[in-house]
């Protein structure tokens, strides 16, 4: 179920950081505050539309090909699909300002919440997979809520009430389409092993393999998050010491 979710959730990557971060970097000053909010809202709208499309395709596939127990598990993962990429636009906003500490704190807090829920379920002898999938939903809801609070704190109610710029949404779609195609192929190749093992092995073997993969990905992702958060502060003193020298 998790492998299927990761494949279909790739649709939410239509407007990646490769497009959004440079745009937001050019709107760093307070004079462009409203324009930055418009970019964030446009990217959020585009990602939300494609994430909803991914959820619809995932549930259609599950209803046709998967047992009812798997469909229930996928419903919990669908909540994460609807939240992760749309609210992830705040990550691009932080990256544009090399201000990654709030993002790191939010992500680590959400991860800690998920681990706590999984540990509690395990200690209480819960064996139904859909309850463990609910931990992913809770993590996504927690992170999305904190990102939304940070957005309100930064941009306020004025920009929140502004309408959606559909022209900008279309421009982001056109600009991000080449990167989106590459990411789709990359994720498909990354998850091909799980998709093939669904047909070539037993559910127990697939479960053990997927669990080991998730543990490994969690460890590597944590190290990446720490490096990204430390890189700007580590390089800033050297940059300042150079002054205006080329």
Q: What is the pLDDT of residues 54-93, one digit of tens each?
A: 888 888 888 887 777 778 788 888 888 888 888 888 888 8
Residue 125: HSE in the Cβ half-sphere, 13 Å Cα cutoff: 0
114 or 15: which carries more pLDDT confidence? 114
Packed helices 192-200 and 166-190: angle between N→C axes, nearest 10 degrees: 50
Counting Cβ atoms within 10 Å, is residue 98 exposed (0-12), middle (13-18) or buried (19+)? Answer: middle
CA 140/CA 51 separation, integer angstroms: 14
Give percent of the chain above pLDDT 90: 1
Locus of tokens 């543990």: 215
Q: What is the pLDDT of residues 192-243, one digit of tens each?
A: 777 777 777 777 787 778 777 777 776 776 777 677 666 655 554 544 444 4
127 or 123: which carries more pLDDT confidence? 123
Q: What is the pLDDT of residues 31-47, one digit of tens each?
A: 566 777 788 888 888 88
């Amino acid at each position: 179920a998790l492998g299927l979710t990761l494949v279909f959730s790739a649709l939410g990557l239509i407007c990646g950081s490769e497009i959004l971060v440079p745009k937001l970097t050019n709107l760093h000053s307070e004079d462009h505050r409203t324009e930055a909010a418009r970019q964030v809202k446009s990217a959020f709208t585009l990602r939300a539309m494609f994430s909803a499309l991914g959820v619809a395709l995932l549930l259609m596939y599950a209803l046709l090909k998967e047992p009812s127990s798997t469909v229930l598990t996928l419903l919990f993962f669908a909540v994460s699909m609807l939240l992760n990429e749309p609210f992830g636009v705040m990550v691009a906003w932080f990256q544009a300002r090399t201000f990654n500490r709030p993002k790191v704190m939010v992500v680590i807090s959400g991860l800690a919440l998920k681990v706590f829920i999984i540990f509690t379920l395990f200690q209480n002898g819960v064996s139904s997979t859909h309850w463990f999938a609910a931990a992913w939903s809770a993590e996504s809801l927690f992170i999305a809520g904190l990102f939304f609070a940070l957005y309100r704190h930064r941009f306020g109610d004025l920009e929140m009430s502004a309408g959606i710029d559909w022209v900008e949404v279309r421009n982001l779609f056109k600009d991000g389409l080449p990167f989106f195609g590459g990411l789709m192929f990359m994720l498909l190749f990354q998850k091909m092993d799980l998709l093939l093992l669904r047909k070539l092995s037993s559910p127990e073997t697939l479960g053990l393999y997927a669990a080991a993969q998730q543990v490994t990905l969690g460890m590597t992702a944590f190290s990446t998050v720490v490096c990204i958060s430390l890189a700007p502060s580590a390089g800033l003193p050297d940059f300042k010491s150079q002054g205006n020298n080329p």
